[in-house]
Amino acid sequence: MRVRISLMVLLGASVMVLPFLGFPQVVKTVLFAVLGFAIAAISYFSSIVYCVNCRQAIHVAERESHRRRVTDNLAPETSEHHEHASEHQPVVS
């Protein structure tokens, strides 16, 4: 993890300095393309490492969302059931 961060900083610094190094335009273009691809690839593969934690977080969020939907769907039915039940019960005094 620390190596990837260091590599990203180094690649970013290389992109910042590259225009001032005096390389011919063709070499600059190739180096920008290579550095850009390297930054994109490292960024993409860095996000994959955290995917295990993301899956767990998504699973917990889906379970919580499902629990809320079930609770929300039961609440109106329960209150209607109590209203209807009170209508059908005889009043005893």
Looking at the fold, whether 19 and 60 belong to one and the same domain comes out as no
Per-residue CA distances from 79 to 69, 74, 84, 85, 88 (Å): 16, 9, 9, 10, 15
Looking at the fold, whether 13 and 26 belong to one and the same domain comes out as yes
Per-residue CA distances from 74 to 2, 7, 66, 88 (Å): 49, 53, 12, 21
Domain containing 14 equals: 1-49
Residue 25 placed within a domain = yes
Looking at the fold, whether 37 and 56 belong to one and the same domain comes out as no
Domain total of the chain: 2
**Can you give the pTM of this predicted structure?**
0.48
Q: pLDDT tens digits, the chain, 93 residues: what are they?
A: 678 788 888 989 999 998 998 999 999 999 999 999 999 988 887 766 555 666 777 778 888 888 888 777 776 555 555 555 555 555 555
Looking at the fold, whether 17 and 42 belong to one and the same domain comes out as yes
